[in-house]
Amino acid sequence: MMTVKIALSGAAGRMGRTLIESCRETQGVSLAAAIERPGDPSIGIDAGVLIGSGKMGVTVVDSLAEVIPQFDVLIDFTEPKATLDKVQACRKAGRGMVIGTTGFSAEQKKIIQRAAQRIPIVFAPNMSVGVNLCFKLLETAAHVLGDDVDIEIIEAHHRHKIDAPSGTAVRMGEIIASVLGRDLAQCAIYGRHGTLPQRDSKTIGFETIRAGDLVGEHTVMFAAPGERVEITHRASSRKTFATGAIRAAQWVMQQDKGLFDMQQVLGLR
């Protein structure tokens, strides 16, 4: 079996360290490069030492160009501007990517779409297998319950997460809106305060919580008079996202070019 050589961007962050551990534990992949922003204290440290285990022979560097020849697929969970810089470099070098970064603008997403005309990219707001199963369940719920329910999406993450609502919550809203023939940009309500008019049943509400060290929780509520249906996913460890990202990296190696999501990686569509 071919070993997929993986590079990690944002190696010293919470997700990066979890990914290093997953690379160490997963058969069929190897950590080939670890990148951090210039000036980060982790520069020059072995990736294995960074996570508190034995040396892996991969030193954290501050330049993607320095390690381009060493890897097959780059996994990036950083922030939009840094990710887009990596997209351009990978496009030029013909390297695949797995992007878990969220918070992109519509124009920034177009840059990723253009790059995918040359290289294979898995771009998903959430790499968790469970969350992607929930996406499929949401399609079914929206089809069955239709316009007869009020829909609310509640998400909670750790205090350091900067984009709100989360990319996963937005994707949930997009899926539901698509099934119901609505435009999420027009029907989304983000938080409520003060004296409000009666709820418009065509809207989709979002509530955001940022607290402590919550890894990630998402609940979609379909509420009708007399009953409600809730679809919930709770992540207790970043390992679930890392496992999914590694799986996506192995899958994207089999693709020539194109823009894909985790639904395709998992065979859900």
Find how far residue 258's CA is from the centre of its chain: 17
Q: Which of 109, 136, 158, 161 is catalytic?
A: 161
Six-digit token string for 150:
């009020």
Whether residue 5 lies in the annotated active site = no
Of these residues, 5, 86, 157, 218, which one is catalytic?
157
Query: Are the CB atoms for 88 and 65 separated by under 8 Å?
Result: no
- Active-site residue, 157 included: yes
Question: Known catalytic residues?
Answer: 157, 161
